[in-house]
Amino acid sequence: MFQTEQTSDKIDDEFGILDDIFLDGVDIHEKYGKANIYGPVLFVMKPELFLSVDKPLKITTFNPLYWRNFPTWRSRYLMGTSEFKLRYDDWQNQSASMMFTLNGCDKGIRLADFLEEIVVDVSGFTINEMSMGNYLKTEIEKTLSANGLEQIPVHIRRHTRQRCACVANYEYLKESDKPELIKRLRSKERFLK
């Protein structure tokens, strides 16, 4: 699949991490009570993924969007498992700034081996006269089944927060004459320079 454009693309390219795979340690939609800018589909991965790759696993201390303020690799990444253990509780309560990153995985990750479940957001969008959430769930289930992966559950998100801005976020995208929505869905230019 093509890689979608992100605000941080130029910075990621500058720091040599454009093709790294970034995995958030928290559900950003749930954490901040708003639609996830990465899109309405959440892949929940099994932690065994980290033990299976032959590439270095790194954990950022800050979102790379702000790395210009942190000039050394030491300030950008956790240094070892002892630092991770020390900072893990703070990280869970702090923000989604820390991310697990896999370097040099330009071939991707085998979802069949590590995908635990898929969560789909609801929104006011319709596709072929069906709500976007139901449409995506149906299409994802068809694709999983066609690839022998029907055991992977697909759920429509049921909110656990009393207030969530996701409905307003999706309404904004609907009413914004679609430039932001198109930006989120179009293929990224591979050569940013």
For each of the chain's 193 residues, which pLDDT tens digit applies?
556 677 788 888 888 888 888 888 888 888 888 888 778 899 999 988 888 877 778 888 878 888 888 888 888 888 888 888 887 776 665 556 678 888 766 666 777 888 999 999 887 777 788 888 898 899 999 999 999 999 999 999 877 666 788 878 877 777 766 666 666 656 555 433 3
Angstrom distance (rounded) from CA 81 to CA 91: 14
For residue 69 the two structure tokens come to: 């303020």
pTM of the predicted structure, to 2 decimals: 0.80
Domain boundaries, the chain: 9-185
Angstrom distance (rounded) from CA 122 to CA 136: 10
**3-state secondary structure (DSSP) of residue 135:** helix
Angstrom distance (rounded) from CA 78 to CA 86: 10
